[in-house]
Structure 1
Amino acid sequence: MADIVRFEVPSLSDEQQAHLNARLSTVIYPNELEQEVGWDYGAPTWAVKSMVEKWQTYDFEAYREEINQWHHYRTPIDGLNIHFIHEPSPHPNALPILLCHGWPSTFYEFHKVINVLRDGKDGQQPFHVIVPSLPGFGFSDAPKDTGYGALRMAKTMNQLMIKLGYKKYMWAGGDWGGIIGKVVASRYGDNCMGFYTHFPMVRPPVPSPRNLLFHPFKVVKFFSSLLLGFDRVYGKDKVVLNGATFANAELSYTCGYRAIQGTKPYTLAYGLSDSPVGLLGWLLEKYHDWTHHESDEISVKSALPSSLTPEEFLTQVTLFWLTNSLSSSIRIYYEVLHRHEMFRVVLPRVHVPTAVSNFAHDLSRLPVDWLAASTNLVQFREYSEGGHFPALESHRLVAADIQAFGKKLSKSAKL
C-alpha cells in the first residue's frame, strides 16, 4: 500500500549526543539515608551511577545497526502513524504473529527472537513476524486525544494486521502486550487465531453458570483457597497477585508507579523527559525488581540480572530518550484507570486457543485451574527462571513455547 512507508531507526543527532553527554557528566544525585536499605526505597545511587557511567561509553550506533537489519515501516491508523517491524518468512507454512511489548519496554524487547521465529529452523514452526511500537511508544505517534487506552490500542493493532493482509494471525505479548492481547483475543476472535502470553489477566473460577456446569471442582477449590490460603490449595507460589490492585499502594507496595502514572502522569513526565538520569533511574528500578536474579543476595548487590546485559537495558533507555516517548508511554495507565478498562479486560472469557508460560519472577502468576476456566487453554508451561521481560531474559524458552503453540495452531489454520 502507498501509505505504508519504509522507515529507518535514526542516529542520535550531534546536538542530541552532545546534550546527552553534557547531562550525564553533570548529574546531581539525590540525598540518601546513611543506613543501607538495598532497593527498598527504589533505585539506589550506586546502581544508577554505575549505569550512568556505562551510558557515557555506550555506543548506540552498534545497536542501531542490529535494529536496522529488519524491515521497519510506518503507516497511518486511527489518525496516528504506527511504527512496526515486518519480517515475512520464506516458508510457505508460516503463520503471521504480532509480538507486542509493554511498559517500560519497546519493540527492542524481541530482538533475540525475531529471526528465530521468522526462520523456523530445524523443523520448528516459522512465522511472518510483526513487531509494532504501541501508540505513544518509540517511533509510533503519541495519541493526541484522551481515551487511548488498552481497548483502543487493541483496535489499532488489529487494524494494522488486517492492513498488512493478515486477516488471521497469532498474538504474543506480556505486560500491556498481554493486556491488550487479551482484549484482541476476546473481541477480535475472527482475526486472532491464538493468544500466547506470560502475563494472563483472567478472573478466578467464581460460581458463574458456566463454571458451575463445566468446572464445579475448580469453583470449590477456589473458595477453599480463600479460607486455607493459595499456597496450601494450589501449591507454593502458584498464585502471585502483585498486579491485582491497579493503584492502591496500601494493598501492594509494588504498585506505586501505577498510582502516579495512572493519576498525575503530566507532573511525573517533566523529570522523565528533561533528565536522562531521571529516566534511567525510573526504568532501572523496574528492570531490577521485575527480573529474575539468581539469589536474593545477588539481587541486592546487582543492578541487573546476569541474563540481561547493561547494553540491552541502555538500548531500551536510549530509544525512550531519542524519541522523548517515556512521557507519552505512561499515559496508558491514566486512560485505563480512569475508564475502568481493567474490568473489561479481565471479565471476558477467551474462546480462541490460548497458551500461557509462567516465569519464576514475573509480576503475577496464575494457576492452571484459573486459566482453564477462563480461556481455551491448550498449552501451559512453568519455569524456574525468567521474569517480566522473558523475551530478553529467557528468549530460548519464549521462542520454543511460541513455536510449539504455533505448530498446534497450524494444524487447524485456514489463513
Structure 2
Amino acid sequence: MTDAIEPFRYIVPDGAIADLHARIDATRWPEAQTVDDWSQGVPLAILREFVETWRHGYDWRPTEAWINAQGLSTTTIDGVAIRFLHVRSPRADAVPLILTHGWPGSILEFRGVLGALTDPADGSPAFHCVVPCLPGYGLSGKPATKGWGVDAIARAWGTLMARLGYARWFAQGGDWGAVVTTQIGRMNVAGCAGIHLNMPVARPLPEDLANPTPAEQRALAALQHYQQWDSGYSTQQRTRPQTVGYSLVDSPVGLAAWIYEKMWAWTDNQGRPEDALSRGAIIDNLMLYWLTASGASSARLYWESFGSFAPSDITMPVACSNFPKEILPAPRKWVERHCTNLVHWGEMPKGGHFAAWEQPDLFVGELRTAFALMG
C-alpha cells in the first residue's frame, strides 16, 4: 500500500463481450405488463427493443478508448482502489474541480462537459477536472468491509486531491455525488474552497406545510410521488442490497431494466429516456455496471448511507442549480436554512436529475458562474 498515483488502462477482454451476448441471447422474458404505460415498470416491448440495440447495434470499444484517453489513473485509499479521470486544463489559471456521480450514473455523466470545463474556447474560467468512480462503482475497487459511507468517501476525496497536489479546489455533485459533496462541505474537508450541488438536500419544517409557496407545493408533490411510486429501488438497496445484487450481477436484462427505468423516470423527457439521452450513451453507462459486476457493490452505498439524505449545516460557500425535473427538488427557502453562505441559486429552464448529462451547456454555465463567485 502506497500513496502512489499511477496510470491505469481498462481493456475489456473479448470473452466478456461474448459472455454478455450469450446471456442476452439466453434471456427468459416475462409476459407483458397488463397496462399500456410504465406504471408497472419498463414495458416489455420497449425493453426488448432497447436490449436488441444493446445486443446487435452497439460497440463498447469507442467508449473504452475514450475513458483510457482521459488521464485514467488509480490510487489506493484506505485499502480500496480508487480509479478516476484526471483531465488537466492547458490554462495556467485553471482551478481544480472534483466531480462526483451518483446511482445509476457513472463518470460518463460528465463526458459532455469536460472539454468546455478544461479548455473553454471563449476565455471563460477553466478547471482541472478530477472525476472519480465511487467505491463499489464502475472501475473503482469494491470495499470488502463495511464503513465506506459518504463520510468516508468525502474524506477519501480530500486525500485524493491532496495526492494530486491540489491545495485549493472546488467540488460538485448530484445524487450520491451531491450527498458526498455536501459532506465535504459539512466536514470542511481540507482544501475545499466551495461546493456546487445540482440536487441539494433539504426538507420542510412543520410551518412550511401550513401555507406552502408554489415552489414548496411542487417539492412536496414530488416527495410524495417519490415515496409512493418511485422509491422501491432505494428501499431494496438500502435494506437488502446483497439480495437484489445477485440478479443485477447475473442478468444483463435484469440490470438493464433496473437502470433504464430510472432513465425514464428521472430525466426531462417526453415519454422515452431517449428523448433526453442518446440510446448509445445510456448503454455506455449500463456497460460500466455490467462489465465490472457492480450491481451489488453499488447498491451497498444505500445500506451504508441512505440516512445521509438529510440536511447538513454548511458554512463554506455553496451554490445550487435547480433543474425542473429533479426527482427530489428542494426550494431555496429550505436550503438556505442549512447553507448559511449560499452564493448562487440557479433556476434552470429544462433538465432533470442527470444535469451534466442532460444539459451540458446549462451545467457548464452554472459551474462557471458559481465558482467565479467563490474566488
| Residues 243 and 96 of structure 1: CA distance in aligned 2, closer, same or farther (over 3 Å) | farther
Look up the equivalent residue of 1:9 and give its one-letter code. Y
Deviation at 1:253, TM superposition (A): 2.2
Look up the equivalent residue of 1:138 and give its one-letter code. G
Is the CA contact (8 Å cut-off) linking 1:95 and 1:406 kept in structure 2?
no
Aligned to 2:172: 172
Tell whether 2:335 aligns with 1:352. no
Matches within 5 A, 1:179-198: 179-198=179-198
Aligned to 2:249: 273
Look up the equivalent residue of 2:46 and give its one-letter code. A
- The one of 283, 307, 326 aligned to 2:259: 283
| Residues 236 and 316 of structure 1: CA distance in aligned 2, closer, same or farther (over 3 Å) | same
Q: Which digits, 9 at most, give the CA deviation of each residue in 1:252-282, with x for residues without a partner?
A: 3211111100111111011100011111110
Is the CA contact (8 Å cut-off) linking 1:80 and 1:143 kept in structure 2?
yes
Matches within 5 A, 1:37-56: 37-56=36-55
Aligned length: 372
Q: Which digits, 9 at most, give the CA deviation of each residue in 1:313-370, with x for residues without a partner?
A: 0001111111111210010101124xx4445xx2x32111111111111111122222
Aligned to 2:359: 394
- For normalisation by structure 1, the TM-score amounts to 0.85
Counterpart Cα distance in 1 of 2:44 and 2:326: 25
Matches within 5 A, 1:17-32: 17-32=17-32
Counterpart Cα distance in 2 of 1:244 and 1:349: 24
Q: Which has the larger radius of gyration?
A: 1
RMSD: 2.0
Aligned to 1:330: 299
Look up the equivalent residue of 1:287 and give its one-letter code. M
Tell whether 2:207 aligns with 1:228. no
Counterpart Cα distance in 2 of 1:314 and 1:382: 30
Deviation at 1:288, TM superposition (A): 0.7
Give the fraction of aligned pairs with identical amino acids, expressed as a percent: 32
Q: Which digits, 9 at most, give the CA deviation of each residue in 1:126-169, with x for residues without a partner?
A: 00110000100111111110121111111111111111111221
| Residues 38 and 173 of structure 1: CA distance in aligned 2, closer, same or farther (over 3 Å) | same
Look up the equivalent residue of 2:303 and give its one-letter code. Y
Structure 1 stretches of 4+ moved >6 Å: none
Aligned to 1:217: none
Tell whether 2:278 aligns with 1:313. no
Is the CA contact (8 Å cut-off) linking 1:151 and 1:341 kept in structure 2?
no
| Residues 244 and 172 of structure 1: CA distance in aligned 2, closer, same or farther (over 3 Å) | farther
| Residues 38 and 244 of structure 1: CA distance in aligned 2, closer, same or farther (over 3 Å) | closer
Aligned to 1:261: 237
Counterpart Cα distance in 2 of 1:95 and 1:353: 16
Is the CA contact (8 Å cut-off) linking 2:137 and 2:294 kept in structure 1?
yes
| Residues 192 and 243 of structure 1: CA distance in aligned 2, closer, same or farther (over 3 Å) | farther
Pick which of 41-50 and 187-196 moved more.
Answer: 187-196
Look up the equivalent residue of 1:202 and give its one-letter code. A
Counterpart Cα distance in 2 of 1:7 and 1:366: 38
Deviation at 1:46, TM superposition (A): 1.3
Is the CA contact (8 Å cut-off) linking 1:362 and 1:388 kept in structure 2?
yes
Q: Report the secondary structure of 1:92's partner residue.
A: coil
- For normalisation by structure 2, the TM-score amounts to 0.94
Matches within 5 A, 1:4-153: 4-11=5-12, 13-33=13-33, 35-56=34-55, 57-153=57-153
Deviation at 1:240, TM superposition (A): 4.7
Q: Which digits, 9 at most, give the CA deviation of each residue in 1:177-215, with x for residues without a partner?
A: 0001000011025421111111101344x5xxxxxxxxx
Counterpart Cα distance in 2 of 1:383 and 1:305: 20
Is the CA contact (8 Å cut-off) linking 1:158 and 1:188 kept in structure 2?
no
Q: Report the secondary structure of 1:84's partner residue.
A: strand
Counterpart Cα distance in 2 of 1:275 and 1:118: 38
Look up the equivalent residue of 1:258 and give its one-letter code. S
Is the CA contact (8 Å cut-off) linking 1:87 and 1:128 kept in structure 2?
yes
Unaligned runs of 5+ in 1: 207-221, 411-415
Q: Report the secondary structure of 2:115's partner residue.
A: helix
Unaligned runs of 5+ in 2: none
Q: Which digits, 9 at most, give the CA deviation of each residue in 1:277-296, with x for residues without a partner?
A: 111110001111000113xx
Counterpart Cα distance in 1 of 2:80 and 2:251: 27
Counterpart Cα distance in 1 of 2:284 and 2:223: 26
Q: Report the secondary structure of 1:405's partner residue.
A: helix
Counterpart Cα distance in 1 of 2:158 and 2:223: 26
Is the CA contact (8 Å cut-off) linking 2:186 and 2:314 kept in structure 1?
yes
Aligned to 1:210: none
Is the CA contact (8 Å cut-off) linking 2:3 and 2:75 kept in structure 1?
no
